[in-house]
Amino acid sequence: EVQLVESGGGLVQPGGSLRLSCAASGFTFSTYDMHWVRQVTGKGLEWVSAIDTAGDPYYPGSVKGRFTISRENAKNSLYLQMNSLRAGDTAVYYCTREFGGYGFDHWGQGTLVTVSS
Amino acid sequence: SYELTQPPSVSVSPGQTASITCSGDKLGDKYACWFQQKPGQSPVLVIYQDSKRPSGIPERFSGSNSGNTATLTISGTQTMDEADYYCQAWDSRSVVFGGGTKLTVL
């Protein structure tokens, strides 16, 4: 069974940093592109970052230069290093698996990040 | 940047057909997929590659994509289908989501 389990969320002050982790199991992690998607409470889904099987990262303009996605295939783990956090980054962050460029077929339960003083 | 537009809400009576649209420039030239999200839960993929259903998704869910519009159709809508629905497509290497549509079954 495919499982994605996020961790590392919490309360952080504006300007601070946080590192999210996603532990993957039930599939060959190294052969899938992986993504982070976030959702502000009561709002829609927003793509945050992606990393392909070669380790190349991709970001939207809203987080480029502040967030860094990485993966450690030996540990079946995905990470998101978030720096210079702002109130607008407050959201639930989901780890998700992309399959074949067609969609995200598995999602974690999400981890809540709250940026507040 | 590329944008996908969905109606904020759609209402349907139980047993009837619900259609949720997703509009974007030349969206038909891209693959679209759809996610269902119920309160307090993570999104679930219900349609990928415009019209394919993942295993476990009921046959009443179908999709199409042509021109500038992708459509999610739910035939014989059930009360359990009440949820938020999001379309999604790729623009180059970026992922784009629609704003979401709240489907009310009443």
In this complex, is the C-beta atom of A108 within 8 Å of any C-beta atom belonging to chain B? yes
Dihedral (C-alpha) B86, B91, B93, B94: value to the nearest 10 degrees? -50
B88 and A104 in contact by Cβ < 8 A? yes
Tokens of B44: 């679930």
Q: Is residue B67 over pLDDT 80?
A: yes
Q: Is residue A107 over pLDDT 90?
A: yes
Residue closest to B38 by CA, chosen among B82, B72, B7: B82
Q: How confident is the model at residue A85 (pLDDT cuts 50, 70, 90)?
A: very high
Q: How confident is the model at residue B93 (pLDDT cuts 50, 70, 90)?
A: confident
In this complex, is the C-beta atom of A60 within 8 Å of any C-beta atom belonging to chain B? yes
Q: Residue-wise over B39-52: b if at least 16 C-beta within 10 A, else e?
A: eeebbbbbbbebbe
pLDDT of residue B92: 87
Non-local (6+) Cβ contacts of B79 within 8 A are B14, B105
In a mutational test of the A interface, the residue from B2, B5, B93, B95 whose CB has the highest number of chain A CBs within 10 Å is: B95
pLDDT of residue A99: 86
Mean pLDDT of A15-33: 97
CA distance A57 to A71: 10
Mean pLDDT of A59-63: 95
Say how far residue A48 (Cα) sits from the centre of its chain: 7
CB A81 within 8 A of CB A57: no
B97 and A46 in contact by Cβ < 8 A? yes
Mean pLDDT of B44-72: 97
Per residue in B80-91, pLDDT tens? 999 999 999 998
Mean pLDDT score of chain B: 97
pLDDT of residue A102: 82
Residues paired with residue A3 on neighbouring β-strands, in sequence order: A25
Q: How confident is the model at residue A101 (pLDDT cuts 50, 70, 90)?
A: confident
